[in-house]
Structure 1
Amino acid sequence: MIRSSAIYSGLTLVSRLMGFVRDLVISYFLGASSNIAADALNTAQMFPNLFRRIFAEGAFAAAFVPAYSKSLDRDGPEIADRLAGDAMATIAAFTVALTLVAQLAMPWLMMAISPGFGFGTEKYKLAVILTQITMPYLPCMAIVALLSGVLNARGKFIVAGAAPILLNLVTLIAVIPSHGARQAAVAVSWGIFAAGICQVLLLVWAVRKAGATIQWRLPRLTPEIKGLIALAVPGAIAASASQINITVSGILASQVNGARTWLAYADRLYQLPLGLVGVAIGVALLPRLSRAVVAEDRRDAQTAMDQAIVFALALSLPAAAALFSIPYFLIDGLFTRGEFTAFDARATADALMQYGWGTPAFVLARILSPAFFARGDTKGPMRFALISVAANIVLGLALFPVFGVAGLAAATSAASWLNVLQMTVVLGRRGDYAPSPAAWGKIVRVLAASVALGLILAALSHWRPAIEAPILALGL
């Protein structure tokens, strides 16, 4: 499982590094508070991403992968591939219809997701246009998510992990020749659309190369598909709690010029450990855990969860220590140039610090969810997610007027820890999972080392001018 996670994480790292390069170029052109195109573009990326994680990635992580894995083991590849074909036709038809409705209703939807932009303003008009360009990315990603599930269930992780690289590569190629903020924003939006098509073509080739035969067909509501839908709807909500919370924060942040962009760039940094650790381990864990549950092998299920939890915290806790201790150092070093000012860096760093202490919760939610999904329980995590979203809304409304954008980030982190706490308590109460004494010992040692790391980084950041003074005096 760790080997599979390492493959996925390595490719995700390449994608994230390319994503940072892309973000550096975009922030240079657009800045944050100084240009309306920055918030408009981040809105255009947020809207399809929300639906992608709710209806595509979340749904299939929760329902399709366990069902396909079980069908492969029980019925053989032909029956399993037929299930995948029906599922692909269903999700493609649904997301295409959703995209068409969203395109037509975008002028009104924009007021719902970005009320602070103001109806009829230049920022509002640009956000509508850019979001209409990026919305077709949704059905592309729905197909990619399903085909990635097919590959993951067959133990093939390389191409599915590499697919996001195309998004960063294509959008980077699109934005580099731009002249001016508005042109750059439009170029990135068209790049997202083109990247979705490229990713679909790559995954179609990879699935055929892996020996799977997924036929394109008209959607059919077979009993198996109805069962998948019954699992997928609550599973999608459960798996997308963090994204829903981020979207809620974005709605409130639309009241402040540049705030949505500040949150977006802070999101980029804490998404790095989430993508490299949480998503990667969750992707590798779900098929293994599903097989262990079907075989009623409690020992293997316990071992898999212990390995996943310890490995995830061993990587995410040090990352959280850095994000919480030196947020301004990170944001200033990465983004302050061109149109992205020191004021933008400070506001983004305030949000990043609050996301920092929530990072382990974002990762743990990705690890604990498969323990429910592998047992066919998607309604439990859905309830936890809805409680988490409600808490995020209440805390966001309470903290935003006092602490601004940093308050929204703090609300999201607190809501994520509430989500993790609920899952942990229920898994332990049911007897499905609780960390073993050996796992607890490793977790405590990692936590102690991470706290020490955070204190050292905070001290270095505090005395940074004194440390740098001799170096600057030498002209180095």
Structure 2
Amino acid sequence: MSLVKKFATVGGATLGSRLFGFARETLMAAALGTGPMADIFYAAFRFPNLFRRLFAEGAFNAAFVPLFSKEIEANGVEGAKRFSEEVFGVLFTALLVITIGMQLSMPLLVRWIIAPGFADDPEKTAITVRMAIVMFPYLMCMSLTAMMSGMLNSLHHFFAAAIAPVFLNVIMISALLYALWTGADPLTTGWYLSWSVLAAGIVQLAIVYFGVRHAGIRIGFRRPKMTPNVKRLLVLAVPAAVTGGITQINQIIGQAIASGKEGAIAALQYADRIYQLPLGVVGVAVGVVLLPELARALKGGHMKEASNIQNRSLEFVLFLTLPAAAGIWILSEAIIRVLYERGAFSADNTAVVASILAIYGVGLPGFVMIKALQPGFYAREDTKTPMRFTIVSVVVNSALAISLFPLIAERGIATAEAAAGWINTCLLFFTLWKRGDLTWEWSFARRVLMLLIATAFMSAGLIYAMPYAAPWLTPGSGLLHQLGALFGLIGLAMVTYFGIAFLIGGADLGMIRRNLKRGKRAPAPTADDQQ
């Protein structure tokens, strides 16, 4: 299967999740707007979400997948099964201790880390603490889910791991619809959402567990023991945990600063949801598929193939994110108005959230390129270098957020995150190039230039068309007219960009298809091959 098809498999499932996420945020905006309860829920949910990224996705996609792939190459599926059981015993025990400790410490964590700006409102602080306690076990479920997802990705079973996140949005949407149907007050709605997060974690874990069993591996519980493999995993996972959570680290810093202004946390969250669509569909798909592919190529000694996979992945990322970034910048206000402006979400809210979204759009290519560059380090079992770059970007983000928030409020936090993302991208790119792990290709540079030209023509076309679509984008024109006008503009942008990109040589489907195919070497045995 080509990398394009694998990207499409993971990206398609992620797209479904993000579309459900849009529906969820639209209902959230209608039910809670940017009011106090929206701030409370998002603040409480951010903390378990942060730890999910730090201890689950970051650590296991970066550390577990290369080691699991190595076990498959060296000892077959049985060796990989033994390794996964060793890790499961240690991980489950550690997560149980962390979850209990964090829940007991939640009052202090909310006051000093999660939302220090709530300190002057005891009731707001108390509700945030209780909701965070309810949702924190979500971390345990998702960490175990991440481990099993890593197993599935290494075995080339991508769909179950990619589709599982859809159920978080489906269950939360169900809770919101029930709240709106019963006319629940904001506090009751917040509680429905909190319990739905916990329920979703359990459902997602069940999906990937049965996916692993379907792939031919039955995980048994082993007494926690620090075997050499587990020790090696921890050596790789600690820096990877920091690195993998870069976006969440920066966002929780921004949240702590934004908690000093009512509505700021919710505004940042609504904008974040929009730019997470291209970030998730492209970035997550590339990161999930690229790491096991690079790891296997390197373990098999196929250096040229590894270099080709890395370069073609960067090309694929820029091909899709450059127009997305320009489109988000130009259409930010129209997107927010159509998706959110109804119920408790006012025109003033639209202006604030749209300005944040436009800034996030500028940072989008950088955020996605991080997902495509980090596997180049992780596949070589180097998790410390990306961690150092993450620390640099966090320092930059913190300094800029603190400096800019008093001047331009929420926009300052978004600017800090975008700048930190681009700095991290540049550090990763030039380090891989300097080491010789990223081969410079003038043909690649020329194609990027052509993509920039195509993006410029697309942007000009959108700016020209905006005044004609404006009357149809107003709230009074009706939702169907709004959606029609917005999708019309998006369709115009796509036709213009892709047409010019292929016309002037910025993209070539035949070339992309040929270059993204895996080598002719025999693949490592999967669980299905062993049965």
Is the shorter-chain TM-score for this pair beyond 0.5, marking a shared fold? yes
Name the amino acid aligned to 1:163.
Answer: A
What TM-score, normalized by structure 2, do the two folds share?
Answer: 0.86
Rounded Cα–Cα distance in structure 2 between residues aligned with 1:468 and 1:211? 52
How far off is 1:437 after superposition?
A: 2.3
- Whether 1:315 aligns to 2:320 is yes
Work out which of the residue numbers 344, 352, 355 in structure 1 matches 2:349. 344
Q: 1:124 to 1:454 in 2, by over 3 A?
A: farther
Rounded Cα–Cα distance in structure 2 between residues aligned with 1:349 and 1:290? 40
Q: 1:395 to 1:226 in 2, by over 3 A?
A: same
- Consecutive unaligned residues in structure 2, runs of 5 or more: 482-531
Rounded Cα–Cα distance in structure 2 between residues aligned with 1:368 and 1:146? 21
Rounded Cα–Cα distance in structure 2 between residues aligned with 1:136 and 1:14? 25
Q: Which residue does 1:300 correspond to in 2? A: 305
How far off is 1:459 after superposition?
A: 4.1
Give per-residue Cα distances to partners, 1:180-219, cap 9 Å, x unaligned.
Answer: 2111111011001001111111111110010013212332
Q: How does 1:233-252 map to 2 (within 5 A)?
A: 233-252=238-257
Give per-residue Cα distances to partners, 1:76-105, cap 9 Å, x unaligned.
Answer: 111111111121222222222111111111
Q: Which residue does 2:19 correspond to in 1? A: 17
How far off is 1:468 after superposition?
A: 7.5
Work out which of the residue numbers 276, 283, 292 in structure 1 matches 2:281. 276
Q: Which has the larger displacement, 426-435 or 350-359?
A: 426-435
Whether the 8 Å contact between 2:334 and 2:473 is mirrored in structure 1 is no
Work out which of the residue numbers 216, 220, 242 in structure 1 matches 2:221. 216
Rounded Cα–Cα distance in structure 2 between residues aligned with 1:436 and 1:76? 36
Rounded Cα–Cα distance in structure 2 between residues aligned with 1:391 and 1:444? 29
Q: Which has the larger displacement, 62-71 or 95-104?
A: 95-104
Q: Please report the RMSD computed on the Cα atoms of aligned residues, expressed in angstroms.
A: 1.7
Q: Which has the larger displacement, 104-113 or 458-467?
A: 458-467
Q: 1:221 to 1:468 in 2, by over 3 A?
A: closer
Work out which of the residue numbers 164, 170, 187 in structure 1 matches 2:192. 187
- Whether 1:171 aligns to 2:172 is yes
Rounded Cα–Cα distance in structure 2 between residues aligned with 1:467 and 1:213? 55
Q: Which residue does 1:29 correspond to in 2? A: 31
Give per-residue Cα distances to partners, 1:92-121, cap 9 Å, x unaligned.
Answer: 222221111111111110012211112552
Rounded Cα–Cα distance in structure 1 between residues aligned with 2:116 and 2:472? 46
Q: Which has the larger displacement, 18-27 or 88-97?
A: 88-97
- Consecutive unaligned residues in structure 1, runs of 5 or more: none
Aligned residues: 470
How far off is 1:21 after superposition?
A: 1.1
Rounded Cα–Cα distance in structure 2 between residues aligned with 1:330 and 1:468? 9
Corresponding residue SS for 2:164: helix
Rounded Cα–Cα distance in structure 1 between residues aligned with 2:32 and 2:297? 49
Rounded Cα–Cα distance in structure 2 between residues aligned with 1:465 and 1:63? 49
Rounded Cα–Cα distance in structure 2 between residues aligned with 1:436 and 1:73? 31
Name the amino acid aligned to 1:67.
Answer: L
Name the amino acid aligned to 2:338.
Answer: G
Q: How does 1:101-116 map to 2 (within 5 A)?
A: 101-112=101-112, 113-116=114-117
How far off is 1:451 after superposition?
A: 2.6
Q: Which has the larger displacement, 188-197 or 176-185?
A: 176-185
Name the amino acid aligned to 2:57.
Answer: E
Rounded Cα–Cα distance in structure 1 between residues aligned with 2:151 and 2:470? 53
Name the amino acid aligned to 1:286.
Answer: L
How far off is 1:455 after superposition?
A: 3.3
What TM-score, normalized by structure 1, do the two folds share?
Answer: 0.96
Work out which of the residue numbers 383, 397, 405 in structure 2 matches 1:392. 397
Rounded Cα–Cα distance in structure 2 between residues aligned with 1:459 and 1:221? 63
- Whether 1:453 aligns to 2:454 is no
Q: Which has the larger displacement, 338-347 or 385-394?
A: 338-347
Whether the 8 Å contact between 2:338 and 2:473 is mirrored in structure 1 is no
Rounded Cα–Cα distance in structure 2 between residues aligned with 1:307 and 1:281? 11
- Whether 1:441 aligns to 2:446 is yes
Q: Which has the larger displacement, 234-243 or 363-372?
A: 234-243
Identity across the alignment (%): 38
Corresponding residue SS for 1:377: coil
Rounded Cα–Cα distance in structure 1 between residues aligned with 2:223 and 2:195? 28
Name the amino acid aligned to 1:248.
Answer: I
Q: Which residue does 1:405 correspond to in 2? A: 410
Whether the 8 Å contact between 1:262 and 1:348 is mirrored in structure 2 is yes
Q: Which has the larger displacement, 316-325 or 440-449?
A: 440-449
Corresponding residue SS for 1:75: helix
Whether the 8 Å contact between 1:163 and 1:199 is mirrored in structure 2 is yes
Q: How does 1:100-139 map to 2 (within 5 A)?
A: 100-112=100-112, 113-139=114-140
Rounded Cα–Cα distance in structure 2 between residues aligned with 1:98 and 1:166? 25
Q: Which residue does 2:271 correspond to in 1? A: 266
Rounded Cα–Cα distance in structure 1 between residues aligned with 2:471 and 2:187? 42
Rounded Cα–Cα distance in structure 1 between residues aligned with 2:229 and 2:473? 64
Work out which of the residue numbers 235, 256, 259 in structure 1 matches 2:261. 256
Q: Which residue does 1:381 correspond to in 2? A: 386
Name the amino acid aligned to 1:7.
Answer: T
Name the amino acid aligned to 1:429.
Answer: K
Q: 1:219 to 1:296 in 2, by over 3 A?
A: same
Name the amino acid aligned to 1:65.
Answer: V
